[in-house]
Structure 1
Amino acid sequence: MSNTYTIIVADDHPLFRAALTQAIGTQVDGADVLEAEHLQHLEHQMRSEVDLVLLDLHMPGANGFSGLIYLRTHFPSVPVVVVSGNEQPSVIHRAMHFGAAGFIPKSSSMTDIIDAVKTILNGGQWVPPDLPAADQAMDAQDSKFADQLASLTPQQFKVMVMLTEGLLNKQIAYELSVSEATIKAHVTAILRKLGVYSRTQAVIMAGRLRIEHPQDEAIK
């Protein structure tokens, strides 16, 4: 195993990202730590050799679990650890089922975070030790959905996420710098691969990727 590691900390909160980057850089031997503040930046960083990604579920450009599934589908050899303020057991289990190598609550001590990173770099998995058992029925549904999402191309995946955000075809075409006809073709392919017959059904189905932001819960 290599004695040097390239690790990406992908989080849009600058203070947390900086603290985590500094901690890993000083406490994990041989760590070269890169930062990403949104999904597009993360995609650019993934062009280099990467050993581990620490991913927030609420980064700009991602929609709940969409960033995790995108990375696991298109960079399957790179382990992804979710680092999130949403610590519900159901969220942790779903993240693991969608292919995460670990789940680190943001409330964890920096010592626990570093221990988790070292465990995963050594080929292990890490979740909070007091995590209750998973819901098996939910696992089966997530497995089927994850397989369907894995069949999407990177561009189709981006279009699907934009559909869930309520963007029209012409708006998506503008964002991706392609023609509206190209987006229509992508939408047709997405519907076929998800096994649905309308974009409304696709949006409802893709809603499985959404999770509440911890800040939203705090407001209630």
Structure 2
Amino acid sequence: MFAKTAGQIDFDRVLIVDDHPLFCDALSMTLQSVTRIGEIHTADRLENAIALIAGGLRPDAVILDLNLPDVDGLEGLVRVKAATDAPVIVVSSISENRVISQVIRAGASGYVPKHSQRDVFRTAFETVHSGDVFVPDGFALIDDDADTEHSDAANRLATLTNQQSRILQLICEGKLNKQIAFDLSIAETTVKAHVTAIMRKLGVQSRTQAVLLAKKASLASVLQE
């Protein structure tokens, strides 16, 4: 795991999940300059990141972009947290207080705007390493009824397994059980069993209600409030 020595933080391995190669390269160099990292792994899709973790990668920290091609809003954070116990630091170009509030309430260990200077990344890693949560200067936690609803939706989604999260995503895309079974190469009866478990965990009675709850945790709905 990681340890703090000689003024720097040691990480055996860090996983960066971002679909912009140039940013990944720049972030990798930044992290290497402020921490002692043994390995830096990258993934340009959430599914690729989940596959790396499922294949045995045990990151000491995950750096996650919210705007990935294969996820919607907080779904990426929820699924990464379900896949690993490592702290997740969200790095995003979005700096809305409401979005940051939702990300922290959904379980992120830190939130760093992409335009931040190197010292901010250093402070973020030191803060997370010490067991605290890092948020950018000037951030104000939003605590209202709408925000609480989004947080509750994210917490329910966090109880889903990776397979259940994937199935819920396909349901949100309007796909039927037969189509989901084909896409995931599993039996339709298995899909039905997962759908039943999903609705039970989310506390809903129908697929439509499950979709609506999932949308409450989406980045788009947060920004529209």
Please give the per-residue CA displacement for 1:67-106, whole angstroms capped at 9, x wherever unaligned.
111222342x210011111211000000000000000111
Which residue does 1:184 correspond to in 2?
192
Matched-pair contact (CA < 8 Å) for 2:106–2:155: no
Matched-pair contact (CA < 8 Å) for 1:28–1:118: no
Q: Give the total of aligned pairs.
A: 214
* Aligned residue type for 2:22: L
| Distance apart, 1:170 and its partner CA | 2.7
TM-score between both structures, scaled by the size of structure 2: 0.85
TM-score between both structures, scaled by the size of structure 1: 0.86
Which residue does 2:215 correspond to in 1?
207
* Aligned residue type for 1:32: E
Q: Distance in 2 between matches of 1:108 and 1:175?
A: 39
Which residue does 2:6 correspond to in 1?
none
Deviating beyond 4 angstroms after TM superposition, the runs of 4 or more aligned structure 1 residues are none
Alignment match of 2:156 (pick from 142, 148, 155): 148
| Distance apart, 1:139 and its partner CA | 4.9
Which residue does 1:196 correspond to in 2?
204
How large is the RMSD of aligned CA atoms in angstroms? 2.3
* Aligned residue type for 1:134: I
Q: What runs of 5+ residues in structure 1 fail to find an aligned partner?
A: none
Q: What runs of 5+ residues in structure 2 fail to find an aligned partner?
A: 4-9
Which residue does 1:38 correspond to in 2?
45
Matched-pair contact (CA < 8 Å) for 1:24–1:33: no
| Distance apart, 1:36 and its partner CA | 0.9
* Aligned residue type for 2:184: L
Which residue does 2:29 correspond to in 1?
22
Matched-pair contact (CA < 8 Å) for 1:25–1:32: no
Which residue does 1:61 correspond to in 2?
70
Q: Distance in 1 between matches of 2:101 and 2:184?
A: 33
Matched-pair contact (CA < 8 Å) for 1:97–1:139: no
Between 9-18 and 150-159, the greater mean CA deviation after superposition: 150-159
Is it true that 1:169 corresponds to 2:162 in the alignment?
no
Is it true that 1:115 corresponds to 2:123 in the alignment?
yes
Percent of pairs identical after alignment? 36
Matched-pair contact (CA < 8 Å) for 1:25–1:31: no
Between 111-120 and 19-28, the greater mean CA deviation after superposition: 111-120
* Aligned residue type for 2:20: H
| Distance apart, 1:145 and its partner CA | 2.5
Matched-pair contact (CA < 8 Å) for 2:112–2:135: yes
Distance 1:118 1:175, change over 3 A: farther
Matched-pair contact (CA < 8 Å) for 2:153–2:217: no
Which residue does 2:7 correspond to in 1?
none
SS of alignment partner, residue 39 of structure 2: strand
| Distance apart, 1:118 and its partner CA | 3.3
- In proportion to residue count, which structure has more strand? 2
Q: Distance in 1 between matches of 2:106 and 2:18?
A: 19
Matched-pair contact (CA < 8 Å) for 2:154–2:217: no
Q: Distance in 2 between matches of 1:37 and 1:108?
A: 21
Matched-pair contact (CA < 8 Å) for 2:102–2:151: no
Matched-pair contact (CA < 8 Å) for 1:52–1:80: yes
